[in-house]
Chains A and B, each alone.
Chain A
Amino acid sequence: MEEFAIEVKGLTKKFKKQTKAKNVKELFIGIEKIFVKKPKDKNVDFTALEDISFKIKKGEFFGIVGRNGSGKSTLLKILAGVYHPTQGEVKVNGQLTPFIELGVGFNPELSGRNNVFLNGALLGFSRKQMLEMYEDIVKFAELDNFMDEKLKNYSSGMQVRLAFSVAIRAKSDILLIDEVLAVGDAAFQRKCFDIFKKIKKEGRTVVFVTHDMGAVQEFCDRALMIDTGRLVSIGQPREVALKYEVANSGNQDIELGNNARPTNTTLALTKISPVGLQNNFVKHDEDINFEVTFEVFTKTKIQLNLFIVKKDGVYLTGYNTTKDVKSFAPELGVHKLSCKIEKNQLNRGVYYVGVAAYTYNEFPAEEDAAVLLDILDIAYGTKIPMITVEDNSKTSNGEFNLKANWKN
């Protein structure tokens, strides 16, 4: 029988919405409402988590992902014992240290030394343990000359270093790590992740809450995703990360850029759409077909470029008509053109596919002489098809399927 570090059963958390007056003044401000008939609030409770069940095995590095407001912080706080569940139960098997925030209880009026002892006590260390560890803590934080300074005179970087130095001493079996730990500069983040790796090696259970899908895939053995208080997905980090990306890049959420589309009298791109896909999902080993619709007003030599961008607008790659359609100068009117992205090129993930039209100046006929006529792209304020590529092969990672061979 496997041992569980944390077992969550049918967990529901509801918060009461603040309807009560908090002081006497507010009580009287609202007094006229007694005479005004108001509809009864039937739903005064806000459900932050609904019927969540899962188990975390001992020694597992477990990720919890979800968007802001999805309920993941509430879940973390319930695991940490800060919030009490409305329904259901949480069984914790072992000693648990919550790193919900670094430097809990830090007091700016106290010296660095005193704060170390205060923070250490709150993390569960006895005075004796703290005395033994004190030298190491100061050394690790690289603050030997500052320990008698008041904390308010520390830079924020120094404060974080000190807090982190205390926090990593925790010897408990289960660690709850919030993503706030992974803030700070790149060097500090690296340090954090090195520590996480060490913790993982020691076989301790780690629950890690984050937005960073890279970190989830790098560290976690399993992960779960919650959205609007419900458990959406649990399992392999890669699958959960994919679901997260899908949920996070739904067209309604995407931030459209406000670049102006060029105006011209030559051509207008009307539409780009995938052909034969269900819900825009595609397997990695399937071709993806697109159809581009455009209207020509003035006959001229043009070039279309189909390109792939990420949610944040990063341009990944593109393929234009120059090679496949020689001397492309369509007649006036509406035209349709199709383009096939061949299979086994895109890795799992979410991609956006856009199209741009260019014309050439005859002299010099160089590539950068191309003039943009029209473009369908997120950055130009147009919604474009979102394609989700599924892949279970796990042979490659990143955006593209790198065609390569290993030999030994």
Chain B
Amino acid sequence: MIKFKNILNTRNKAILREMVVTDFRVRYQGSVLGYAWSVLRPLFLFAILYIVFVKFLKIGNGVPHFPVYLLTGIVLWNFFVEATSSAMSSIVGRGDLIKKINIPRYLVVLSSLFSALINLFLNLIVLFIFAFLNHVPVTSSWIFMPFLIAELFLLSLSMGFILSAVFVKYRDASYVWEVLIQGGFYATPILYTLSSIPVKFQKYLMLNPVAQIVQDFRWCFVTHQTTSSWEVSVKYFTAIPIFLILMLILLATKYFKSQSLYFAENI
């Protein structure tokens, strides 16, 4: 196993910091508005979604604060997609480093995760603006949100470890993952509410850790009328997706560690 106390020692922290900062600096390179885009982009995208789904399609009737409810799902899902996709190509994309210097390989994956995490926080800021405009009440259940974000981060990180290692050997992985992500989008209650599908299927959908995170996050943040993971079936149902994530973490670190020895020659 990777030694935990070494994961973020001074040296690794410096590397991680510089890689994340570089990523962020390069992203808005050459644009007039620069970093402002990181907030403006989600702002415009959310406005479009709001108009399309709430004003024209008129779905989500009966769910309080539906625009925020919808955007919450989209923000969390987008993080998952961005984090896993960028993590997948991170090792190959940073081949120049991997082939020349012995930095811990997981730092490269971790840096792409942190870049995605920064974006998530910026999106969440925009989301909070919408929530404020939509008069979403501040409740005590908001304190659970960081835990759910942490859970989503760990899930994405584990997927990122597996995908990045697979991608070094098989470039097919990016196409396969693209298809799976597309399927996953519709298998997760993002554009629709969980209550709109037959009750007997609901619990199977909620086995998906992303679905559990999205639903529980909505429950904490937007409205308690959301079907949360502990309400979908038995009382401790939530433990199942969490257990799946824990298993995934073990599998991912083990696989990544064994594969990372040969990244330099396989890229």
Which residues does A use to contact B, with CB under 8 Å? 15, 20, 22-24, 77, 80-84, 98, 100-101, 104-105, 107, 109-110, 114, 117-118, 120-122, 124-127, 130
Is there a chain A Cβ closer than 8 Å to B96's Cβ? yes
Task: Write 6 A-B pairs (CB below 8 A) sorted by A numbering.
Answer: A98-B100, A98-B101, A105-B96, A107-B22, A109-B25, A122-B15
Report B237-267 residues with CB < 8 Å from chain A CB: 261-262, 264-265
Nearest B residue to A27, CB-CB: B172
Is there a chain A Cβ closer than 8 Å to B199's Cβ? no
Given the known interface contacts A98-B101, A101-B100, A105-B96, the answer about A125 and B14 at a Cβ–Cβ threshold of 8 Å is yes
Flag if A104 contacts B96 (CB, 8 Å).
Answer: yes
Is there a chain A Cβ closer than 8 Å to B29's Cβ? yes
Flag if B26 contacts A100 (CB, 8 Å).
Answer: no
- Which of A15, A104, A114 is within 8 Å of B265, CB to CB? A15
Whole-angstrom distance between the alpha carbons of A345 and B22 in the complex?
A: 61
Task: Indicate with 1 or 0, residue by residue over B120-135, a CB within 8 angstroms of chain A CB atoms.
Answer: 0000000000000000
Query: Shortest distance in angstroms between B116's beta carbon and chain A's nearest beta carbon?
Result: 19
- Which of B14, B261, B262 is within 8 Å of A121, CB to CB? B14
- Which of A20, A82, A110 is within 8 Å of B25, CB to CB? A110
Instruction: Give the chain A neighbours of B102 by CB distance below 8 A.
Output: 80-82, 98
Given the known interface contacts A124-B11, A126-B10, the answer about A84 and B103 at a Cβ–Cβ threshold of 8 Å is no
- Which of A81, A107, A127 is within 8 Å of B14, CB to CB? A127
Flag if A114 contacts B22 (CB, 8 Å).
Answer: yes
Instruction: Give the chain B neighbours of A118 by CB distance below 8 A.
Output: 18-19, 22
Is there a chain A Cβ closer than 8 Å to B224's Cβ? no
Is there a chain A Cβ closer than 8 Å to B186's Cβ? no
Which residues does B use to contact A, with CB under 8 Å? 10-11, 13-15, 17-19, 21-22, 25-26, 29, 96-103, 169-172, 175, 261-262, 264-265
Query: Shortest distance in angstroms between B176's beta carbon and chain A's nearest beta carbon?
Result: 9
Given the known interface contacts A104-B96, A122-B101, the answer about A109 and B14 at a Cβ–Cβ threshold of 8 Å is no
- Which of B26, B171, B262 is within 8 Å of A22, CB to CB? B171
- Which of B13, B21, B97, B171 is within 8 Å of A105, CB to CB? B97
Instruction: Give the chain B neighbours of A22 by CB distance below 8 A.
Output: 170-171
Flag if B99 contacts A82 (CB, 8 Å).
Answer: yes
Flag if B17 contacts A109 (CB, 8 Å).
Answer: no
Instruction: Give the chain A neighbours of B99 by CB distance below 8 A.
Output: 82
Whole-angstrom distance between the alpha carbons of A114 and B17 in the complex?
A: 12
Interface of B is mostly: helix
Instruction: Give the chain A neighbours of B11 by CB distance below 8 A.
Output: 121, 124-126
Flag if B262 contacts A84 (CB, 8 Å).
Answer: yes
Instruction: Give the chain B neighbours of A107 by CB distance below 8 A.
Output: 22, 26
Query: Knowing that A82-B100, A84-B261, A84-B262 are A-B contacts, what are 8 other residue pairs whose CB atoms are under 8 Å apart, sorted by A's residue number?
Result: A20-B169, A77-B264, A104-B101, A105-B101, A118-B19, A126-B13, A127-B14, A127-B17
Query: Shortest distance in angstroms between A408's beta carbon and chain B's nearest beta carbon?
Result: 51
Flag if B264 contacts A83 (CB, 8 Å).
Answer: yes
Query: Shortest distance in angstroms between B257's beta carbon and chain A's nearest beta carbon?
Result: 11
Query: Shortest distance in angstroms between B146's beta carbon and chain A's nearest beta carbon?
Result: 26
Flag if B265 contacts A83 (CB, 8 Å).
Answer: yes
Instruction: Give the chain B neighbours of A82 by CB distance below 8 A.
Output: 98-102, 264
Nearest B residue to A13, CB-CB: B265
Query: Shortest distance in angstroms between A163's beta carbon and chain B's nearest beta carbon?
Result: 12
Interface centre among A23, A80, A82, A98 (most CB of B within 10 A): A82
Instruction: Give the chain A neighbours of B98 by CB distance below 8 A.
Output: 82
Given the known interface contacts A23-B171, A23-B172, A24-B172, the answer about A109 and B26 at a Cβ–Cβ threshold of 8 Å is yes
Whole-angstrom distance between the alpha carbons of A105 and B93 in the complex?
A: 12
Instruction: Give the chain B neighbours of A121 by CB distance below 8 A.
Output: 11, 14-15, 17-19
Instruction: Give the chain B neighbours of A81 by CB distance below 8 A.
Output: 102
Given the known interface contacts A104-B96, A118-B22, the answer about A80 and B101 at a Cβ–Cβ threshold of 8 Å is yes
Query: Shortest distance in angstroms between A242's beta carbon and chain B's nearest beta carbon?
Result: 32
Instruction: Give the chain A neighbours of B261 by CB distance below 8 A.
Output: 84
- Which of B97, B171, B172, B262 is within 8 Å of A122, CB to CB? B97
Flag if A110 contacts B101 (CB, 8 Å).
Answer: no
Whole-angstrom distance between the alpha carbons of A125 and B17 in the complex?
A: 12
Given the known interface contacts A15-B265, A122-B97, the answer about A24 and B17 at a Cβ–Cβ threshold of 8 Å is no
Query: Shortest distance in angstroms between B30's beta carbon and chain A's nearest beta carbon?
Result: 8
Instruction: Give the chain A neighbours of B101 by CB distance below 8 A.
Output: 80, 82, 98, 100, 104-105, 122
Whole-angstrom distance between the alpha carbons of A20 and B170 in the complex?
A: 9
Whole-angstrom distance between the alpha carbons of A110 and B19 in the complex?
A: 12
Nearest A residue to B262, CB-CB: A84
Closest 7 CB pairs of A and B: A81-B102, A84-B261, A121-B18, A121-B14, A118-B18, A82-B264, A121-B15
Whole-angstrom distance between the alpha carbons of A120 and B14 in the complex?
A: 9
Whole-angstrom distance between the alpha carbons of A104 and B264 in the complex?
A: 14
Instruction: Give the chain A neighbours of B17 by CB distance below 8 A.
Output: 121, 127
Instruction: Give the chain A neighbours of B26 by CB distance below 8 A.
Output: 107, 109-110
Query: Shortest distance in angstroms between A79's beta carbon and chain B's nearest beta carbon?
Result: 10
Given the known interface contacts A84-B261, A98-B101, A110-B26, the answer about A126 and B96 at a Cβ–Cβ threshold of 8 Å is no
Nearest B residue to A123, CB-CB: B101
